[in-house]
């Protein structure tokens, strides 16, 4: 059985990227203005927009708490850490948040738009696909960064 006829055209086409989404990423990457940026898809505008930003002093727990429990989002997180040689480093993580409790349509929309959006953000070091909080806990970021 084909599901093609059942889906709306928007569900499978990539979304555009709002200029302020790219600007917010640049501010996180180059200017360290944000610790994290959470993006959502605005279906009416057919583009990825900034939903929330977190200041440099915000913690990873603040970031994780800002993600919706039952809906998909994209996020970038600037992870600071110290290497075994005692060097201060920073890695930018792209997180595709798609909780198992979110609507099927939302999961499809975010999954089909992810690659195009991700390509717009030049300078991502690591990508994490998470369906529940344990898949993106702080220990996971530490393991990937080292």
Query: Structural domains in the chain?
Result: 16-145 (3.40.20.10)
Q: Is the pLDDT of residue 4 over 50?
A: no
Q: What is the mean pLDDT of residues 58-79?
A: 97
Q: Is the pLDDT of residue 135 over 50?
A: yes
When mean pLDDT is compared across 1-10, 58-67, 91-100, the lowest value belongs to 1-10
Q: Which alpha helices (H) appear in 29-74, and where do they start and end?
A: 60-66
Q: How far apart are CA 7 and CA 77, in angstroms?
A: 32
Q: What is the mean pLDDT of residues 37-52?
A: 95
The confidence score (pLDDT) of residue 14 equals 59
pTM: 0.88
Residue among 117, 100, 140 at smallest CA distance from 38: 117
Q: How far apart are CA 14 and CA 130, in angstroms?
A: 20
The confidence score (pLDDT) of residue 10 equals 42
The confidence score (pLDDT) of residue 129 equals 96
**Residue 25: pLDDT band with limits 50, 70, 90:** very high
Whole-number mean pLDDT of the chain? 90
Q: Is the pLDDT of residue 33 over 60?
A: yes
């Amino acid at each position: 059985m084909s599901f093609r006829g059942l889906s709306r055209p928007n569900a499978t086409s990539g979304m555009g990227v709002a200029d302020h989404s790219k600007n917010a990423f640049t501010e996180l990457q180059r200017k360290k203005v944000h610790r994290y940026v959470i993006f959502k898809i605005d279906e009416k505008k057919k583009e990825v927009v900034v939903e929330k930003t977190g200041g440099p002093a915000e913690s990873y727990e603040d970031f994780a708490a800002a993600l919706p429990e039952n809906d998909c989002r994209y996020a970038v997180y600037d992870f600071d850490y110290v290497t075994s040689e005692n060097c201060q480093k920073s890695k930018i993580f792209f997180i595709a948040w798609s909780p198992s409790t979110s609507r099927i349509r939302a999961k499809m929309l975010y999954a089909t738009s992810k690659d195009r959006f991700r390509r717009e953000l030049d300078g991502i070091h690591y990508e994490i696909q998470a369906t529940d909080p344990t898949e993106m806990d702080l220990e996971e970021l530490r393991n990937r960064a080292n």
